[in-house]
Amino acid sequence: MTQRPPDVPFSAVPGSAPDAPSSAVPAATPGSAPDATARSGAGAVEPGPGAAAPPILEAREAGFAYRGGAPALSDVSVQVLAGRSTALVGESGAGKTTLLRLLLGLARPTSGRVLFDGAPLSPRDRAQMRAFRRSVQMVFQDPYSSLDPRQRVGRIVAEPLRSLGLVPPGRRGASAAELRVAAALEAVGLPPDAAHRYPHEFSGGQRQRIAIARATVCEPRVLLADEPVSALDVSTRVRVIDLLAELRDSNGLTIVMVSHDLAVVALLCEYTAVLERGRVVEQGETAAVLGSPRHPYTRRLIDSVPRLPARP
Amino acid sequence: MTRPGATGPLLDVTGLGVRSAGGHDLVSGLTFGIEPGSRLGLIGESGSGKSLTALAIMGLLPPGMAASGSIVLDVPGAGPAQIVGAAERRLRGVRGRAASVVFQEPLTALDPLMKVGRQLAEPIRRRRGLRGAALRAAVADALAEVRLPEPGRIARAYPHEISGGQRQRVAIAMALACEPALLIADEPTTALDVTVQAEVLALLDGLVAARGMALLFISHDLAVVSGITDRILVLKDGRAVESGTARQVVNAPSHPYTRALVAGARHLDSALDWKAR
């Protein structure tokens, strides 16, 4: 593992605060600037509102480089606070999916750390990983490739319950699982008989609902979603966004979403981190970041979104 | 149909139907026209038949699919050409000069084993009969016209060696090389990042205007279509449900389907209106 020297200069971020010195302990720098809690510059981390509870997930000065390659991610510090749905925004190659993989424990940072409930996430710690999988679940972009075509929906949705040992084995467990699967399917707006059918019998939007039911059946605290609606048609997209918002509001689910679609981000996430070429160039409240962007790249991103003609 | 003299539409589609090998009607009763130099947006969700319509106009429907009705491309000086039922030989004369197409995924439009410059040289050579140094200069000009930096380096590169946005610019250059009267763009920016999309749309807009080409722009994205075309035709399940100016369709949709489509797009669009909140 290579620890980046603390004083290596990083590409200047014009128009915004320079990177916080990466040697600083993030928690030791409480907001000195008046709006530090609303928004912070690249790499800076503000303490969460409830300083007592650590963030559920945190990347702390995290970097990632594929062997022999240029870093895909450099010095990224982002906190996922309970109840604060967070968007990781950027274009292809920005490193947002790499960051998501680090936050999921699917890859280890080559520098810096990823913390779960304040403790370093270590995929070899089986007890921690069990607690982690219970708390953090995932929805993927493509609802056609993320569901096993040979399994019935009921079995697909029940998978986390079985693999996490949340239902006892045998007959009793099976009926307990059935009840929870039925509740999860109902929560995502699918009919009860969906459990007995196969994925190919459903449309793209319905499949994404199945994926969301699978991810939420074990009542996780965090739902990590990689472009969850970008493969869907507009009307379906709006309905799945509504569903995610409903789960967020009624079940206290914190959504962490990777997206290039700023409208979806604005509808679902209160907090936004903008990535460009492996670095966070701007992060803060979504309304501040997207409503009055400071970094030129954020501005360019917003100005590039095709807009409908103004209402007469 | 009454058409006054030679000033008829460039593209005249009447009662177009596309039927699959299994006998399903994928497009039916589609009628629309495009005047020389005008722009039409074809909008619809997945499965609405919009891409099949583009393929039918080019005479490029996949094997097993059959077109019915009439598609007439009438390029001034070349005479009207009926596409439906035309032989491949005849189509080859029409493609390129009358109409050419830019697809969503430039990787599928470009030959992965051929350097970009050679691919682009092919249509230029055929259309303008250039050879040698003159041909190389024309290729460099074509790459510069789509605002590719370092045209020399791009010409020597294989498609996988350049970015997605650059590939789409090359695909546009190839489509323009034949100096078509009608450019068909089928979701040309859907696979691109949003900042690249904005650049490619601006490029297309400028080139179409500068050359006085007609444009058939196909997309699922109402905001994109209303930004680049004057008129919009809304497709659902292979049928036209509504047409009108872009502003009419977006601001006063009449068909229930269009209303739902616009409401969805409006909902997403207004999420970005921070000042109004």
In the listed set B124, B154, B174, which residue is the last one of a domain according to the structure? B174
Confidence of residue B275 (pLDDT cuts 50, 70, 90): low
Structural contact between residues A160 and A133, judged by C-beta atoms closer than 8 angstroms: yes
Binned at pLDDT 50, 70 and 90, residue A192 comes out as: confident
Q: Do B195 and A262 touch (CB under 8 A)?
A: no
Q: Find, among B2, B31, B43, B13, the residue nearest to B231 by Cα.
A: B43
Q: Which residues in chain B are closer than 8 Å to A305, comparing Cβ atoms?
A: 194, 223, 272
Instruction: Verify whether the Cβ–Cβ distance B272 to A300 is below 8 Å.
Output: no
Of B90, B83, B153, give the one whose Cα is nearest residue B116. Answer: B153
Please state, for a pLDDT cut of 90, what percent of chain B lies above it.
Answer: 78
> Which region holds residue A181: left if phi is over 0, alpha if psi is between -120 and 50, else beta?
alpha
Domain boundary among B150, B174, B198: B174
Q: Does residue B239 share a domain with residue B157?
A: no
Q: How many domains does chain B have?
A: 2
> B35 and B116 share a domain?
no
**Do B185 and B244 lie in a common domain?**
yes
Is residue A91 less than 8 Å (CB to CB) from chain B? yes
Q: In the predicted model, is pLDDT for residue B41 greater than 90?
A: yes
* Residue B277 pLDDT: 52
Q: Could you tell me if B23 and B44 lie in one domain?
A: yes
Query: Final residue of a domain: which of B118, B140, B174?
Result: B174
Q: Are strands B231-236 and B39-43 parallel, antiparallel or unpaired?
A: parallel
Query: Is the domain of B169 the same as that of B93?
Result: no
Q: Which residue range is the domain that position B166 belongs to? A: 109-174
Residues linked to residue A254 through DSSP beta bridges, in sequence order: A222
Domain membership of residue B4 (yes or no) is no
Q: Do B247 and A309 touch (CB under 8 A)?
A: yes
The two three-digit tokens of residue A157, written as one number: 């949705």
Return the number of CB contacts < 8 Å for A and B: 86
Task: Give the ipTM of the model, two decimals please.
Answer: 0.84
* Interchain contact B255–A (C-beta under 8 A): no
- Are B225 and B155 contained in the same domain? no
Greater pLDDT, A280 or A172: A280
Q: Which of A230, A234, A272 to mutate to test the interface with B (most CBs of B within 10 A)?
A: A234
Is B225 in the same domain as B205? yes
Range with lowest mean pLDDT among A3-7, A95-99, A305-309, B5-9: A3-7
pLDDT, position B128: 87
Q: Which of A122-126, A128-132, A149-153, B203-207 has the lowest mean pLDDT?
A: A122-126
Q: Residue B246: closest CA among chain A residues belongs to which residue?
A: A309
Nearest by CB to residue A266, choosing from B220, B247, B272, is B272
Residue B277 and residue B272: Cα distance in Å, rounded?
A: 10
Subunit contact B222:A263, Cβ cutoff 8 A: no
Note whether B23 and B54 are same-domain residues: yes
Shortest alpha-carbon distance between residue A311 and chain B (Å) = 6
**Residue B87 burial class via C-beta count within 10 angstroms: exposed 0-12, middle 13-18, buried 19 and up:** exposed
Is residue B276 one of the residues assigned to a domain?
no
Question: Does the pLDDT of residue B155 top 90, yes or no?
Answer: yes
Q: What is the pLDDT of residue B108?
A: 79
* Per-residue pLDDT tens digits for A24-73: 333 333 333 444 345 555 544 444 454 568 999 999 999 999 888 889 99
Which residue from A204, A235, A309 is facing B264, i.e. has the nearest CB? A235
Give how far B3 is from chain A: nearest CA, Å.
33
CA distance B82 to A280: 55
The answer to whether A242 faces chain B, any CB pair under 8 Å, is no
Nearest by CB to residue A300, choosing from B195, B246, B266, is B195
